Amino acid sequence: MISSNDIRPGVTLLLEGSVWVVVEFLHVKPGKGAAFVRTKLKNVETGQTLERTFRAGEKLERAQVSSREMQYLYEMEGNYYFMDTETYEQTFIPEDVIDNGKWYLKENDVIIIQFYQDRPISVELPTYADLVVVETDPGLKGDTASGGSKPAKLETGVVVQVPLFVQVGDKIRVDTRTNEYLSRV
């Protein structure tokens, strides 16, 4: 059991027979009345989102989730294949579980995958990824770091906005949560 006061993004809860992950939360203490926690939850099986309010201190059932370190191998027909780094057992994860994480997976990357009852429910990516620019417009002489931005296609297929001085072949660091350019590597 977990108290509603301990809810944070990423916490998994068991509500009405389904597993939900907390996407957002806000602890509200109004001037009059009791405190409450307003949450935005996502069903890990269906992808449905739900906004729910809990009383402060309310007890909720926490879903027992295990995390495993796994190495990304390859993608085939919408399934992403991973190998457990401890047991060397291979498993696949459907594209809908990986969601936008697919844009930051490179072969042999080691990431953490969360399982509920031996079923993958989410992928924890590193906060940034170092990727090579494969397609972008050429920069012009006199372009500076603060002069604007242009779209650039990276080696995994994701398109991000980069400064004008970034060229094809440059390795850049991208924030995996926001798809924003951070720096050249």
Kindly state whether residues 133 and 115 are assigned to the same domain. no
Kindly state whether residues 46 and 93 are assigned to the same domain. no
In the listed set 84, 99, 124, which residue is the last one of a domain according to the structure? Answer: 124
Total domains in the chain come to 3
Mean pLDDT of 81-91: 92
Work out the percent of the chain whose per-residue pLDDT is above 90.
31
- Is the model's pLDDT at 112 over the cut of 70? yes
Task: Report whether 48 contacts 80 (CB < 8 A).
Answer: no
In the listed set 25, 45, 60, which residue is the last one of a domain according to the structure? Answer: 60
Kindly state whether residues 177 and 134 are assigned to the same domain. yes
What pLDDT is stored for residue 120 in this prediction?
A: 85
Kindly state whether residues 6 and 56 are assigned to the same domain. yes
Mean pLDDT of 1-15: 86
- Is the model's pLDDT at 145 over the cut of 80? no
Kindly state whether residues 88 and 43 are assigned to the same domain. no
Kindly state whether residues 7 and 55 are assigned to the same domain. yes
Kindly state whether residues 6 and 55 are assigned to the same domain. yes
Neighbour count for residue 19 (Cβ, 10 Å): 21
- Is the model's pLDDT at 174 over the cut of 90? yes
Work out the percent of the chain whose per-residue pLDDT is above 70.
95
The most distant pair of C-alpha atoms in the chain lies apart, rounded to whole Å, by: 62
What pLDDT is stored for residue 143 in this prediction?
A: 53
Query: Residue 40's pLDDT band (boundaries 50, 70, 90)?
Result: very high
Q: Residue 49: which domain range?
A: 2-60
What pLDDT is stored for residue 103 in this prediction?
A: 87
Kindly state whether residues 53 and 70 are assigned to the same domain. no
Task: Report whether 126 contacts 132 (CB < 8 A).
Answer: no
Kindly state whether residues 136 and 164 are assigned to the same domain. yes
In the listed set 11, 33, 60, which residue is the last one of a domain according to the structure? Answer: 60
Kindly state whether residues 118 and 139 are assigned to the same domain. no
Query: Residue 147's pLDDT band (boundaries 50, 70, 90)?
Result: low
Higher pLDDT residue, 58 or 97?
58
Instruction: Tell me the DSSP string of 83-123.
Output: EETTT--EEEEEHHHHGGGGGG--TT-EEEEEEETTEEEEE
CATH number of the domain to which 144 belongs: 2.40.50.140
Kindly state whether residues 109 and 144 are assigned to the same domain. no
Kindly state whether residues 14 and 52 are assigned to the same domain. yes
What pLDDT is stored for residue 152 in this prediction?
A: 93
Higher pLDDT residue, 125 or 146?
125
Mean pLDDT of 38-51: 87
pLDDT in tens, 117-141: 888 887 888 888 999 999 998 866 5
